[in-house]
Structure 1
């Protein structure tokens, strides 16, 4: 059983027709192959996805590089900048691997060897797990700050935030190992294909796909929903619903992540049902889904810019100032919220 988790020329487990060559024709005991000379530049969808991915690579490297510089070097270190710095690093690493898949989509031939075949697949899922785990951590952090403001003000430290981030990355790497273990380079008609090889067990593909969906999508989504429900109820109880500005960027990041990853997970789950009725639909869906996944990595810096202050004011400042203001504004507002909530809790305690 063979599969390609992430490549713009998607090849599936169940023998969908490949862009480069057709299925073999058997006459008696003789086997002949029809080799097509079509390239990505002669196919509209492939060419369109190629252009989109080149744009994603350029914007992702540039945008996340700027965020890393600002959050890591230009701004005063805080818990909030620590969260967003880690997100930017994850997206930057992912975008750095896009050129390998872009070249693969043009040539239909994996020329970078077995190690890079395994590594690029590993990086994709490392990005997926680390991003969603960081979003869960930030949601829990917001929830704790709202429910226990005094405790949060005294215990939210950069050191503890850094330790939590390290643990999240270790857990993400552990869950991404199967994508590296089962990735393989196989030669077909003189061309190398970077794809998954699940020959060890007929249920390996289903198990890995379901585990990614559950641990990288369903459970994090439920945890985030619970955290935001608690936050909203708490703010309304304190008549501070209008003070929820620190959660704007976080909400946008979460919505963007799930909207970008949902199509990919949906088509993967359809694929493992072994249905041959919609082979072409699934193949095209996965090509588009992987491109939408890549788009998530350059959208985050865009959100940092446009979710901070009033849109018209942003044109009066530089891009660096925009991102710094967007990240710094959330930290300042959170500090004001914690101080206000702490004083409210202190007054309440004196009346008991």
Structure 2
């Protein structure tokens, strides 16, 4: 299974049918990747601003004693961890050469995988918690407490850290003898039994824990939420169902294509097929990255409460906007006591 990091293509093509060996030109894929990598800098800046704004709002208007805020805070942190690696990968892809050394290769690779894996699991956990708050609102009020949130977050960070180990070990720097360029990725020549076992463990983790499991949980939870909302007498139910549909659709569009392509073994593909797969990977990888960039912001600002907080910040910073912006003045304490009710409304 191919690494999820934005690797550089350089390997050769072997035609098993004709018994010929020759270079499989991947320069066009690398050029596309270098062009798309400029998006990484914008994603990094946007994520830094957007997620930073979420942190400011939570700090100014909310309390970190509620389950939703604790999970959201951890999602923001995981997103920022992941996004902090993107400028390095952007420079790497543009120069087609790793210039930061072996130690930074390990560090940036570790940060990348930790943020990548934890973001997926925190999105899943946030969805599951929202499902509990809506479907079982009267029965789980004692379970959904601060201890439950902290324990859940600790488990996610532990699982994400352990899942990074195979990729962190395989990820290293090496110099290609033909191009004399340094690469920071998994060395294709490592074929020892330990390396094979690490690759296999990484493959199954990617397939089951970070693709099938999140998709199944998210779809199940939102289906239950939709059924509950429709069967209730919530005034905003139709808007809520529409919002849920958008969330699920966005997750599928951004997350599924990239992972499906990763699960395709390219060992037996022809050079042309490898090139087409490479093009698709370049595009779908960046789409998945965009989702990680916007997901904490999206999950936050779909709520009326956070929209009102944002308007308050704008008015305080720019008093001249007060006559053009309306918002509800709600105290931190009173708002925190209504978190379960607001979770049911979702918007």
TM-score by length of 1: 0.73
Contact kept, 8 Å, 2:134 with 2:344, in 1: the verdict is no
Displacement after TM superposition at 1:291 (Å): 1.8
CA separation in 1, counterparts of 2:128 and 2:135? 10
- Counting only pairs closer than 5 Å after superposition, residues 176-325 of structure 1 correspond to structure 2 as 176-189=164-177, 190-197=180-187, 198-201=190-193, 202=196, 205-240=199-234, 242-243=236-237, 255-272=249-266, 274-276=268-270, 277-304=272-299, 307-309=302-304, 318=313
1:5 aligned partner: 4
Q: Which residue number in structure 2 is paired with residue 63 of structure 1? A: 50
1:336 maps onto 2:326 in alignment: no
* Alignment check: 8 A CA contact 2:54 2:300 kept: no
Q: Distance in 2 between matches of 1:16 and 1:117?
A: 27
Cα distance between partner residues in 1 of 2:339 and 2:244 = 12
Report the alpha carbon displacement of residue 226 of structure 1 after superposing the two structures with TM: 2.0
Q: Which residue of 28, 36, 42 corresponds with 1:49? A: 36
Shift of residue 260, structure 1, vs aligned partner? 2.2
Q: Distance in 1 between matches of 2:90 and 2:315?
A: 29
RMSD: 4.1
Aligned equivalents of 1:63 and 1:316: distance in 2? 15
Aligned equivalents of 1:215 and 1:167: distance in 2? 13
Cross-structure match for 1:21? none
| Residue of structure 1 aligned with 2:97, choices 76, 85, 109 | 109
Cα drift, residue 46 of structure 1: 4.0
Q: 1:25 to 1:167 in 2, by over 3 A?
A: closer
8 Å CA contact retained: 1:72, 1:85: no
- In 2, Cα distance between equivalents of 1:211 and 1:177: 11
CA contact (8 A) 1:129 1:172 kept: yes
Q: C-alpha separation between the residues in 1 aligned to 2:207 and 2:218?
A: 15
Instruction: Tell me, in whole angstroms, the C-alpha distance in 1 between the residues paired with 2:289 and 2:310.
Output: 27
1:154 maps to 2:142: yes
**Cα distance in 1 for residues equivalent to 2:144 and 2:278:** 46
**Residues 5 and 196 in structure 1, CA contact (< 8 A), matched pair in contact too:** no
CA contact (8 A) 1:249 1:303 kept: no
- Secondary structure in 2 matching 1:270: coil
Distance 1:58 1:145, change over 3 A: closer
Alignment match, 1:144 = 132
Gaps of 5+ in 2: 15-20, 317-324
Going from structure 1 to structure 2, the CA distance change for 1:177 and 1:196 (only over 3 Å counts) comes to: same
1:129-140 to 2 correspondences below 5 Å: 129-140=117-128
CA distance in 2 between partners of 1:320 and 1:176 (Å): 43
Shift of 1:97: 1.2
| CA pair 255-82 structure 1, distance change in 2 beyond 3 A | farther
CA drift of 1:10 comes to 3.0
Instruction: Please say if 1:82 is aligned against 2:98.
Output: no
Cα distance change on mapping 1:5 and 1:118 into 2, 3 Å: farther
CA shift in 2, pair 1:138/1:302, >3 Å: closer
Report if the CA contact (8 A) 1:305-1:319 is conserved.
no
- Contact 1:114 1:185 (C-alpha < 8 Å) held by counterparts: yes
SS of match in other structure, 2:37: helix
Q: 1:134 to 1:245 in 2, by over 3 A?
A: farther
Q: 3-state DSSP class of the match of 2:303?
A: coil
Return the offset for 1:263: 2.4
